[in-house]
Structure 1
Amino acid sequence: MSELSLTACHVGFSLIPGIGRVRLSLLENHFGDLATAWRAEASELAKSGIDSGTLKAISYWRPRIDPERELEKAAKSGVKVLTLADKVYPSRLKEIYDYPPVLYVKGNLLSEDELSIAVVGTRKPTVYGRQVTEELVTELSRNRITIASGLARGIDTIAHQTALKNGGRTIAVMGCGVNVIYPAENAALAKQILENGALISECAIDAGPRPENFPRRNRILSGLTLGTLVTEAGNGSGALITADYALEQDREVFAVPGSILSPQSTGTNRLIQQGAKLVRNAADIMEELNVRAVAGQLEFKEVLPENDTEKQLLKYLGVEPVHIDEVCRASGLPTPLVSSTLAMMELKGMVKQLGGMNYALARQIKETLS
């Protein structure tokens, strides 16, 4: 058996089912290094304290695994393979009990990513959930806080997209290999993330999505960051698993309150009831983490109504979405005029179009007019 690099040995053992941080530690402590452990006979492996089931797995899988070939595949795909010995392995992730022994990274992790927040939530957000996620991530990104999420549908997708839209960095922690984009509809988003962030996973680079991978990837998401923000989540949401991991890892947990009548807010409201920090704006998060705001007061070239039509329409808009038909009825103005005026107001950052021709007052305008 040829001599393998320590990284290759980490990769080899990580590809054997049932071997994680704890069993790797047993092997390293007994043999002194994983290269010796990889070459060891079954009788020697048994002396390390490894259980019989894992011994059988090693005996079966080791002859079928070519770790160096896995490293070559990773290199050809532009994927970095990190172990704890690598300087660029995220320092905060080293602190958690069940850290991933091998981390595959596509894109770039930077030192500034140490200042990061996980943003998670339901896969089926309401208009409210989308709005608060966009507003909070916008503020955090403009304050140079990296946004980490799971590339899933719903809140995860909104968090990644909003961070990129505002020139921020974002990291996707995946429950499959970094060469396998799941869901497939986020392929374009994943490509954008690579330009200003990274895709990371503990799964082999070509591993497909498996149900058991996603709860485990959540411990990486929470462990990688200073805290976890849940913007909207029902009782059964996987986002709550991330929050639980954050608490276990002594990380902060933040939650956005929602209507007690909304099923999508039962999880976030319960988190607050259990002691999570209630979040109204990004300042609440930064204050709790003792992070200084670096963006300063946002400046807008035009935040006040320019004409009587804009002034009139602002009277019928608030933070809750209002359909354009309702605005037309309330204002008595013709639909074409309302539509064109709202479009211009949106371009100036005065209002937001929240989908389905529903509009809401931008927070900045509301504060300016109050």
Structure 2
Amino acid sequence: MVRKVRALGCVRHSSNSAPRTCTVHAHAHFSPSAATTNMEAGDHATGLAWALLSCVLFGSFGVPIKTPAVVNAKVDPVVFQCYKTLACFSTCWIALLYVPFKFTYWGFVGAAIWVVNGTCAIAAVQKAGLAVAQSLWSGLSIIVAFLWGVYAFGEVPKSTSLAWCAIALMTAGMVAIGYGAANKGGTPCKPHTDGDVDSEGAHVEAENLIRDEDGNVKYASKTSNQQFVTGVALATYVGVANGSFAVPLKYANQSVKGAEYLVSFGIGALLLTALMASAYAALLRFGLGRPLPNPHVAIAAKPALATGILWSAGNACSIFAAERLGLSVGWPLVQCQLLVSVCWGIFYYREVTSTASIGLILGGSLVVLAGVALLAQYGA
């Protein structure tokens, strides 16, 4: 008679006449590779969550200063930037509650990209029009960030061909959204990119606006060919610089990590904005003979500071996303902030009223989301 006794993975064969023997089969064992895979999957999911939160914050940071009182005050874009930088500098110190103070000059490089980029973005919109400028720099930002990640920092995707397909889909969708938002809307949606200093505060002169047959405001093409070419060149720079915005962070990672970078960025933003504002004031006063802009403290200070806080929170989330997903995946995903800002324009501000434009925006959004899903799966 043979009986099998199974306990805790042990199978014991015994008989009445033979000595009992026990054969132990290891049904489970610890696998370091499996543990690593689980950790990577956790980081991937966390990175996607940070990217999503960054999109919401970046796409919403312009909402506080789009109130009628602020818009009617026509606050100078440089004044907006000063308020926004003050909020960025003030909030960056919160990071010291979680990490030690570490300084890196790479934070100054990132801040320089941020400050200069926004000024160029405003000029690009004024010279080339919102549709061309926004679409061009949104698409370029995605492509440039992917190129940096894959070819400069060796972030090898799971499938290079499918990752490029995802980038192409996201770029095409961004172009469609940009044209839909700018060509047939009420008050054209302002682009919300992390490199955008204050495009939401840039007020195009009234003579540059016309109304179409439906009564919707749109940008008129009253610029000369030279101005248009200049605008395209500026928008190209904005796209390249915005796609490179997280590059200083990658180099800074040799000495600082994530939240530690924020303090250096905040200090750099304050110093560089002070230099820009001083140069701007000198140009107005001594070069052009114009008065200094009104700071509109009572009207604009609180909304502009709220905008700066939202942007700073979005910037922190984008850094955490890029750390976990890499520059080639994290930063392109963050550019989906455009979807959020356009949703604000359509559903809250009613800026886009044309059925054709809304259809183009929704179609472009679906294409972008398809690219996002593909990149999240095969780009990491």
- TM-score normalised by length of structure 1: 0.21
Bigger radius of gyration: 2
- TM-score normalised by length of structure 2: 0.20
Structure whose residues are more often helix by fraction: 2
Q: Which gives a bigger RCO, structure 1 or 2 (Cα 8 Å, sep 6+)?
A: 2
